[in-house]
Structure 1
Amino acid sequence: MINNFFRPAVVLNGHGSQAEIHHTTVTITESELDRAANELADAVGKHWHTEADSRGLLKSQVPVHWQVSRHRLTTRVAAAMAERGPRRFPPLPGVAPVTEKSLRAGGDLTDLHRVYGGLASGRLMIVGPAAAGKTSAAVVLLRAALDHRANPARAPYKSGIPVPVLVTLDGWAPGDERKDVVDWAVERLSREHKGHRYLRQLLDTGRIALFLDGFDEVGEEVRALAVAALESAPFRVVLVSRTEEASDTAGRELPAGAVALELKPVRPADAAACLLDSLDDPAPAAWQKLVRQLLEEPDSAVAGALADPLTVSLLVEVYAPDGPVEKLFGLAGPDAVRDHLLDHAVAAAYTRKPRPRGCRPYSPETAERTLRHLAARLTEEDTRELRWWRIPSWPGRRSRAWITGTAVTVVYLTVVVLALAPWIGPLWAAGAALMGWTLGTLDAGIRISRLHHEKQLTSAGWRDVLPLLAITGGLFDWITVTGLTWLVLRFAGHPQSLLQCCLLGLPYGFGGVLLRGRAADLVVRTIVAPFPLARFARDMIPELETETRVLGPRDVWRHHTRMLFPLGLLAGGAVGLYAGGLAAMSNGAGFGLALGVAIGSGHALIAGVLSNAAVATALTAVQLSVREGTPLRLMTFLDDAHRRGLLRASGPAYEFRHVRLQERLARRP
């Protein structure tokens, strides 16, 4: 059964649902939707367990409390309750409705789920100043919501418990009338959560709850439009934002029925207890002095700095139990203490003993030099997200393109001349190579220009790139083309053996597999599939048929290195096999093999090397290593920094642990 609040685009009953999507009616049973929601919940749970571990959220946390915000972020608390008005969302199974009295009483992070699950408006905001732990609070709430859903006692009611999904607002244009909030959410979730065919239906029926981080990082006009768009969203929404930006937006257009919970400063007693828990008993004299100052002098610089959980955790990480913590006593002001700890965070992460599992022995100097360069680049681009496939667009790409293009050209010309010279002579072979290189330059230019596209091709694995439907269709194409070729040649008076016809049809079969899968761009400008088929090829791509998973930066990297690279080489091989097979029919197998190698190598180099973002990123890393002294294997370093807690994963992109850390690193010479 569905609430009246939900849009009529999806109508559920006991048997199934009908969803109108792009003028197409799709019938889906409730069991299919429930199964899709369960698969998504499993994938999100695995991802955020790993990410929470890397952020230190599975260990003992600094106690953080919240209260209803007093910054004009909520018109009337009662408007969000069902006590005096209609209920937009029923309370989640096992959660009591939130009352105004219980809400105003406040609570800690463990109480967030009580508010989230029992709020009648389904609109919750988590706000606070910088470094207050807002994103960590959202992750804690998300994991609590997943645990609540996974509780065996809730099994009969799972369809009424939405799957929480945390994303950023990046890429949303709420003023675009052609794309509403559900359209944007479907597009965003499709990029980061692979393996789903029913994302729109799950959103329309409230089986997904969106946790939107970074509300303060978009423009003021966009925030206002986003608030208006989210009011009609048919799912629960949790917004995470700094208090100041949220107040500026709310001053113009208050979110209807939203309740803003503001994270309070860490209590001195809680911070002191957290510090003492990390020390041996008895604590060193300098630490005892710091704890006393924290408890007895609430106006001191140290007490002011330790009012947020980030600084408390940094203090524990930067100074070991026997570290020179007395250096903090001479600093003037809380900001000076925070900056001092942030300036030592990188060195502490790379000198920490024992080293986190899976981490490599980078020197602190190399790590800081690399992170400074990355922070400066992100700050210059006015972004927090480090998308590795954007790295090749940084300064120096023109020289790299020339070097790469020259190297590929030399390899191609050498292969062509060596392959064809014994058959047509060196001069004719060189002429053929130059002609092929000229024709391939346009294709290479088009592919290289797409290297830095914001929406890189991502997948959940081989079964996504080459689904069973694509393989079946490719086999059908192969058999059909083989049979037709055999019949046409026989009736034309040039009969060929069935084996030779199979070889001629094989490239069409392989091209059919790629066209029906998610690697269509590898073949849409080849002999097997000419350029006009590009749009048709994309329309043929089927829905995902693979296991659901949340994509991280390493997943996208593996997609380009382990799948797109070999597929590009195979696409070149298919073109070479086609051209070589035709040549062999009239000029013999030897010449056919030579021509196939000559033509196929060019396509393989373009599809597998020049147009591969991972190859371009690896070459850029070499440039940076020579010029900036960064590690040669940059992606390995980024993964290492993530394991050490300096970076965090936000979908397929990396981010610095905190925006202030990025700012400090970017400013340092």
Structure 2
Amino acid sequence: MARRILIALLGAALAITGVLILRAVTSSPIIDILGFVATIGIPLISFWLSAPAAAGSSDVDSLAAQLRRRVTDQYADDKQANDLNEGRLPVCWSAAAEDLMDSEGRKVRRAILSGDIADVAKQYLQLPHGRWVVLGAGGAGKSCLLLELMQKLLEAPESIDGRVPVLVPLAAWDGSRDVDQFLADFLLDQTSGLKFSWRRSTADRRADLILLVRRHVLPMFDGLDEMPEPRRVEALATLSRHHEKFRFVLTSRPEEYRRAVEARRPVARTAVVELQPLGIPDIVKYLGDAPHGSADAWLTALRTHKQLTRALATPLMVWIAAATFASKPDVLAEGDATADDIKDKLYKALIPSRYTTRGLGGPDAPSWNVDDVMRWMTYLARDVDRRRRTTTSGDTADDLISWWRLADAAEPLVGRVAALTALLTTGLASGIAIGYLFTPETGLFWGVTVGTVMGVNAAHSRLKPTTVEFRFGGRFVIGLSGGLLVGLVAGGAVFVLQHDLSAVWALAGFGLPLGVVYGLTSTVKVEDEVSPEGVLQRERIFVLAYFIAYGLACAIACWILSGPVLALSLGVFAGLSGGLFNGLPWAVVHLLFKSEDVDPSAGAVAWFRFFLAKLLWSSHRPVDLPWRLLTFLEDARRRGILQQSGASYRFRHVGLVDWLVKESERATAVSPGRESPDNAAVAGH
């Protein structure tokens, strides 16, 4: 109720402000009539519209039906990125070591903890508590197993009480947050197309999603090993403490999971299995069923070349072999090739096969030149490898491919252009305002000084994307009050100079845009985001909102004092300065919210640096990346080369990174004059 009253009072204040502004312009009696109607009507309408819509079972059931449709579509998309041929990839497992399970987990019959991908749903549904951890090395088939399990459960929802299996990347979780809250926020961000009642606020929608999570969601947690080590321990502790009926599936690499368990204790009531190397019968069956494959030829090759059997011990290697050498097993193992030599051949063929096979990436997939793709992937792999070698923290973030980090690769040119832009925009905005109020000489001095300070900060800044978003919340009244206070100062200054009611225009025109922007500002964490495109989109909205707010505020105040020409100039430069560079806006937000998540550092915002970097990539040759970078990265995910990790991407297969780096070093050794991509990177990466 208090929130609705505040909104009604705010509506009344806006109505009264509008009436005062109109009465300062004209004395028409129509204004009095409209003002009376607005002053009464706007608060009543605001009070009615702000009433929350009650959530019922039918609302949550509707959300569950929508979620099922979206997950089914997403499943088809992700399965396409992992599948190549008709039939399932050969994946089998057996019970993990007993010390990784608690007493309840060890009670599960070993027959239930052993199986293959054909019976994955049957095996899971026999678990007494519905908690399953799947361990496997890179390329062992964890993603394939999850997708197959999702398909079977989506086809038989009654087997899991109508729940919807949802694939959740654990890299987006800090491990300590309540599981239901995390999953609700994940669904709110990831499934933005869900239709809520239009009168439900963000908090109300999150409450609806918590009910949805508790009643209708079966989370498939993917990639415990992708979390930093301290978070892994916290995540297992949080899952273990959650209520007894909470069911989930979790995947991880074996060593990372073992270290997390040893740091605390096994997860309660959870069965743990480990994926096993493939045997010759599994390999022969899959490759024999591949297009142009021959089971007899592969059986002969595997019996003749023992190194070939070792190389094809994981589903990943078998998958690549089916794509590239299905009809030529002898070519793959010709001569005295070792297992590593065979793997190198397979990795070499992986990227070309994923970009020449028809249908991969979807019907609307962009077309890329394979040679270009190889260069771009090599650059990304070298960049990842450099950060892995130069960072001693062991943080899994060293493997991330983030658009804001890649902008650093175009330094120092990006910093120089950003510094020049800051000098011009901030310097001209400050110089025009101070020069008009005082003297041109004073304006010139302060314009150069302020512009230089901002330029120096812009040249050396390496800011992450904005950690705020715009939404209505409890801080709105505080932010609006702060903006109106600034507007009151501006209005007072205008009244002193003009001695008329134009000060009311200055108060409203300068204070309202700033107040609304700061009032709608709420802090978020980039690490908790689940979409790279979403982070970039929020960054663009941030730039546009502050450009409009500062440009409009300064232009209105200047128009009252001098006229349209100077007002337009000041508005444009002030808007560019406020939108493209962290300075006064971030200082105000930092002081307002007292949040450690808000970085008050000055400098160019991440989107502007990224935009400048893309402009400079064509001329800055060591940086070999496409203009449509996010489109390329997302398409690579669909083709199975990359995987999404929160707001970033990473290579799906670590072995591919190592092979690309090794091939790049060989090429550099052959052509010593060729500049390595490492030379283009910056320590601030």
Q: Same fold (TM over 0.5)?
A: yes
Correspondence for 1:514: 517
1:246-293 Cα distance to aligned partner (Å, 9 max, x none)? 45555673333321223333443443333333324xx6xxx6664232
Correspondence for 2:131: 123
Q: What letter is aligned with 2:444? A: A
Asked if 1 retains the 8 angstrom alpha-carbon contact of 2:307 and 2:337, the reply is yes
Correspondence for 1:612: 605
Q: What letter is aligned with 2:645? A: S
Correspondence for 2:557: 579
Change (3 A) 1:489 1:580: closer
> TM-score with structure 2 length normalisation?
0.67
Change (3 A) 1:317 1:503: farther
Whole-Å Cα distance in 1 between the matches of residues 496 and 429 of structure 2? Answer: 37
**Structure (1/2) with the larger helix percentage:** 2
Asked if 1 retains the 8 angstrom alpha-carbon contact of 2:554 and 2:567, the reply is no
Change (3 A) 1:249 1:638: closer
Structure 1 segment 241-252 matched on structure 2, within 5 A:
241-247=252-258
- The match for 2:531 among 552, 562, 565 is 552
Structure 1 segment 45-56 matched on structure 2, within 5 A:
45-56=72-83
Q: Secondary structure at the match of 1:649?
A: strand
Change (3 A) 1:438 1:257: same
Whole-Å Cα distance in 2 between the matches of residues 488 and 505 of structure 1? Answer: 13
Structure 1 segment 135-174 matched on structure 2, within 5 A:
135-149=143-157, 158=162, 161=163, 163-169=165-171, 172=174
- The match for 2:351 among 329, 336, 346 is 346
1:302 CA displacement: 2.2
Correspondence for 1:3: none
Correspondence for 1:113: 121
Whole-Å Cα distance in 2 between the matches of residues 202 and 221 of structure 1? Answer: 29
For structure 1, which segment, 500-509 or 552-561, has the greater mean C-alpha deviation from structure 2 after superposition? 500-509
Whole-Å Cα distance in 1 between the matches of residues 279 and 536 of structure 2? Answer: 42
Aligned residues: CA RMSD: 5.0
Whole-Å Cα distance in 1 between the matches of residues 61 and 486 of structure 2? Answer: 42
Structure 1 segment 51-450 matched on structure 2, within 5 A:
51-56=78-83, 60-69=87-96, 72-74=99-101, 100=109, 103-104=112-113, 106-149=114-157, 158=162, 161=163, 163-169=165-171, 172=174, 196-198=205-207, 201-202=210-211, 205=214, 207-217=216-226, 223-224=232-233, 226-234=235-243, 235-247=246-258, 253-280=265-292, 290-293=297-300, 296=303, 300-319=306-325, 326-352=331-357, 357-360=363-366, 362-382=368-388, 383-393=398-408, 397=411, 400-410=414-424, 413=427, 427=441, 430-431=444-445, 433-437=447-451, 449=461
Correspondence for 1:631: 625
1:167 CA displacement: 1.7
Q: What letter is aligned with 2:240? A: E
Change (3 A) 1:47 1:567: farther
Q: What letter is aligned with 1:387? A: S
Asked if 1 retains the 8 angstrom alpha-carbon contact of 2:180 and 2:214, the reply is no
Whole-Å Cα distance in 1 between the matches of residues 492 and 438 of structure 2? Answer: 32
1:285-304 Cα distance to aligned partner (Å, 9 max, x none)? xx66642325655x722233
Asked if 2 retains the 8 angstrom alpha-carbon contact of 1:57 and 1:136, the reply is no
Whole-Å Cα distance in 2 between the matches of residues 318 and 507 of structure 1? Answer: 64
Change (3 A) 1:496 1:423: closer
1:377 CA displacement: 2.4
Structure 1: gaps (5+ residues): 1-25, 82-99, 460-464, 521-536, 542-549
Whole-Å Cα distance in 2 between the matches of residues 410 and 476 of structure 1? Answer: 31
Whole-Å Cα distance in 2 between the matches of residues 503 and 146 of structure 1? Answer: 59
Q: What letter is aligned with 1:242? A: R
Whole-Å Cα distance in 2 between the matches of residues 618 and 52 of structure 1? Answer: 33
1:603 and 2:578 correspond? yes
Q: What letter is aligned with 2:127? A: L
1:124 CA displacement: 0.9
Asked if 1 retains the 8 angstrom alpha-carbon contact of 2:180 and 2:210, the reply is no
1:49 CA displacement: 3.3
Change (3 A) 1:628 1:330: same
Correspondence for 2:651: 656
Q: What letter is aligned with 2:169? A: V
- The match for 2:660 among 630, 645, 665 is 665
1:485 CA displacement: 11
Whole-Å Cα distance in 2 between the matches of residues 221 and 594 of structure 1? Answer: 52
Whole-Å Cα distance in 2 between the matches of residues 229 and 474 of structure 1? Answer: 36
Asked if 1 retains the 8 angstrom alpha-carbon contact of 2:487 and 2:512, the reply is no
Structure 2: gaps (5+ residues): 1-52, 193-201, 389-397, 586-601, 666-685
Q: Secondary structure at the match of 1:665?
A: helix
Whole-Å Cα distance in 2 between the matches of residues 118 and 289 of structure 1? Answer: 37
1:146 CA displacement: 4.3
Whole-Å Cα distance in 2 between the matches of residues 397 and 577 of structure 1? Answer: 34
For structure 1, which segment, 239-248 or 423-432, has the greater mean C-alpha deviation from structure 2 after superposition? 423-432
1:597 CA displacement: 4.5
Asked if 2 retains the 8 angstrom alpha-carbon contact of 1:208 and 1:236, the reply is no
Change (3 A) 1:611 1:320: farther
Asked if 1 retains the 8 angstrom alpha-carbon contact of 2:510 and 2:556, the reply is yes
For structure 1, which segment, 602-611 or 232-241, has the greater mean C-alpha deviation from structure 2 after superposition? 602-611
1:560 CA displacement: 3.1
1:584-623 Cα distance to aligned partner (Å, 9 max, x none)? 24x4555544544454443244369964323322333455
Whole-Å Cα distance in 1 between the matches of residues 316 and 418 of structure 2? Answer: 44
> TM-score with structure 1 length normalisation?
0.68
Q: Secondary structure at the match of 1:574?
A: helix
Q: Secondary structure at the match of 1:262?
A: strand
1:332-359 Cα distance to aligned partner (Å, 9 max, x none)? 4434322321133234444556885545
Correspondence for 2:547: 569
Change (3 A) 1:359 1:368: same
Whole-Å Cα distance in 2 between the matches of residues 56 and 226 of structure 1? Answer: 30
Asked if 2 retains the 8 angstrom alpha-carbon contact of 1:553 and 1:651, the reply is yes
1:225 CA displacement: 5.3
Change (3 A) 1:483 1:667: closer
1:133 CA displacement: 0.6
Asked if 2 retains the 8 angstrom alpha-carbon contact of 1:116 and 1:122, the reply is yes
Change (3 A) 1:380 1:186: farther
1:34 CA displacement: 4.8
Whole-Å Cα distance in 2 between the matches of residues 271 and 623 of structure 1? Answer: 48
Change (3 A) 1:551 1:618: same
Change (3 A) 1:329 1:402: same
